[in-house]
């Protein structure tokens, strides 16, 4: 992969002339609208089939008890096989413009999925490992096929459309059960999924809409982002909210300057100072504990107790130490006896470690987990580098999504499950794993001409990112 560097002075005209120029991407996007929206509709139908449960709307964000268990049902099997078939079709059809593989991403990704199937030989539950490996392979094939076919802008639009679809269905479900804002004290917005997963859905919608706004400069995307943030706060998910804010910073970082940061900092200080003066004048006090738990029940949401996760993590680490390198087999750690032991020792029902990092370690061992983290790091670096020459927020969206996944993985595991979150990560990596041939050639020409511009200071300020001079 050719490493690209930002020009000394980037202007809007220079960005428009770059290899990843929005005008060229938009023209390419408009050539195949059917082959974008039809596969996207199939993906949405599959994800709703495997992830949606309206019973969450009926309880208004409370813990769901007595609900249906997610298992290997016929509908889920058909849905995942359909998703894998779609990926094969998109891989066979290919993109509208030639793309070349990025082997330093494809090879470790292929190695990881081969490792998933290899864990069958030492798994505690071989049949479970085989089924879950097939499911993950179907999602990976779909993400790779769609990522190879999409442009950077299409990827952002796809994530925005899918997350907005989930949000609308969730709102309709809560309105149907009259659960929306039913109890301001204990209410958490959930819709058709757990409130924590809904927070990640709103986080993905926030990032995708922000990416589209930075790319197209249309105010509609700002309104969508504001709605997504509002519903994100209603989920009362601390991890999802914090991870979304930090991931948004990854998108905004190239656009920040002293002209923006200084006034924003002064405005923040002024607002905080005015708030303190108002509270002092009126004699009111701020309930810091209530703010820290985002209004949730203090016993269940105490940040110092990590919502009861610490005992689970300690017990999981003890078992991990018994098989540190290879783990217990993909999806095979949570056998029935082990579940009963965890529930007896911790006093509440659980189905995973409540940490993507620990879940990866106990299932795949250090070998598999470190391979996955390596792929995430390589994709993050590539996304950041691709966004530099064109100042492309859509190319940078993958890095933002990976940031959301890596931070949320500390206390949640949605991004290594079989839902929308994992599909967003895999399709983003699939997008980066294939580089348009024209883009590679343009970047190489630009890199060769940059030293010439640097030797001539008078022309350096007018050199575009394609390397052309006036």
What Cα–Cα distance (Å) separates residue 290 from each residue in 152, 181, 287, 295? 41, 18, 5, 5
Helix (H, G, I), strand (E, B) or coil at 3: coil
CB 363, CB 344: distance < 8 Å: no
Helix runs in 391-436, H state only: 393-408, 420-432
What Cα–Cα distance (Å) separates residue 25 from each residue in 175, 310, 379, 389? 39, 47, 21, 15
Closest CA to 328 of 284, 286, 359: 359
Would you state the structure tokens that stand for residue 155, as one six-digit string? Answer: 């990827």
CB 166, CB 202: distance < 8 Å: no
What pTM did the predictor assign? 0.80
Give the whole-angstrom CA distance, residue 234 versus residue 195.
9
Residue 334 has φ and ψ, to the nearest 5°, of: -90, 70
CB 189, CB 234: distance < 8 Å: yes
What pLDDT tens digit does each residue of the chain (470 aa) get?
Answer: 333 433 333 334 334 444 444 444 444 444 468 889 999 999 999 999 998 888 877 766 555 544 444 456 888 899 999 999 999 999 888 776 778 889 999 999 999 999 999 999 999 999 999 999 999 999 999 999 998 899 899 999 999 999 999 999 999 988 888 888 777 667 888 888 888 899 999 999 999 999 999 988 899 999 999 999 999 999 988 889 999 999 999 998 887 765 555 565 566 566 656 655 555 555 555 444 444 455 555 444 444 455 567 888 888 899 999 999 999 999 999 888 888 888 887 766 677 788 899 999 999 999 999 999 999 999 999 999 887 654 477 889 999 999 999 999 988 888 998 899 999 999 999 999 998 776 655 555 545 555 544 444 444 433 333 333 33
Bridge partners of 389, per DSSP, are: none
């Amino acid at each position: 992969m050719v490493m690209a560097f930002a020009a000394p002075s980037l202007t809007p005209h220079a960005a428009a002339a770059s290899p990843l120029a929005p005008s060229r991407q938009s023209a390419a996007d408009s050539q195949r609208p059917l082959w974008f929206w039809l596969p996207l509709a199939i993906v949405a139908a599959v994800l709703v089939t495997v992830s949606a449960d309206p019973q969450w709307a009926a309880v208004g964000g409370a813990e769901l008890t007595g609900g249906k268990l997610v298992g290997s049902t016929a509908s889920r099997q058909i849905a995942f096989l359909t998703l894998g078939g779609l990926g094969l079709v998109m891989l066979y059809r290919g993109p509208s413009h030639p793309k070349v593989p990025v082997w330093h991403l494809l090879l470790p990704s292929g190695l990881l999925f081969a490792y998933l199937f290899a864990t069958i030989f030492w798994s505690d539950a071989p049949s479970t490992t085989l089924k879950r490996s097939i499911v993950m392979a179907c999602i990976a094939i779909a993400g790779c096929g769609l990522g190879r076919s999409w442009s950077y802008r299409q990827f952002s639009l796809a994530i925005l459309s899918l997350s907005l679809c989930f949000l609308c269905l969730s709102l309709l479900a809560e309105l149907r059960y009259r659960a929306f804002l039913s109890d301001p004290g204990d209410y958490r917005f959930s819709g058709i999924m757990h409130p924590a997963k809904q927070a990640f859905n709103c986080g993905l919608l926030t990032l995708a809409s922000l990416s589209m706004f930075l790319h197209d400069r249309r105010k509609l995307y700002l309104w969508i982002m504001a709605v997504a943030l509002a519903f994100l706060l209603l989920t009362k998910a601390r991890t999802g909210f914090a991870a979304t804010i930090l991931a948004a910073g990854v998108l905004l970082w190239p656009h920040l300057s002293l002209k923006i940061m200084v006034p924003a900092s002064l405005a923040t200080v002024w607002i905080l100072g005015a708030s303190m003066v108002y509270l002092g004048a009126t004699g009111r006090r701020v309930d810091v504990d209530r703010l820290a738990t985002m209004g949730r029940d203090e016993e269940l949401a105490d940040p110092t107790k990590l919502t009861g996760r610490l005992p689970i993590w300690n017990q999981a680490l003890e078992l991990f130490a018994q098989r540190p390198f290879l783990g217990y087999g993909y999806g095979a750690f949570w056998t029935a006896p082990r579940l009963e032991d965890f529930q007896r020792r911790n006093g509440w029902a659980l189905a995973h470690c409540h940490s993507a990092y620990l879940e990866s370690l106990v299932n795949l061992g250090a070998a598999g987990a470190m391979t996955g983290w390596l792929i995430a790091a390589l994709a993050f670096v590539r996304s950041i580098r691709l966004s530099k020459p064109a100042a492309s927020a859509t190319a940078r969206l993958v890095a933002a999504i990976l940031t959301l996944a890596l931070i949320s993985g500390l206390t949640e595991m949605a991004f290594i499950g079989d839902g929308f979150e994992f599909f967003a990560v895999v399709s983003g990596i699939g997008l980066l794993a294939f580089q348009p041939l024209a883009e590679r050639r343009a970047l190489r020409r630009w890199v060769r001409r940059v030293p010439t511009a640097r030797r001539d200071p008078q022309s350096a300020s007018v050199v575009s990112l394609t390397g052309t001079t006036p």
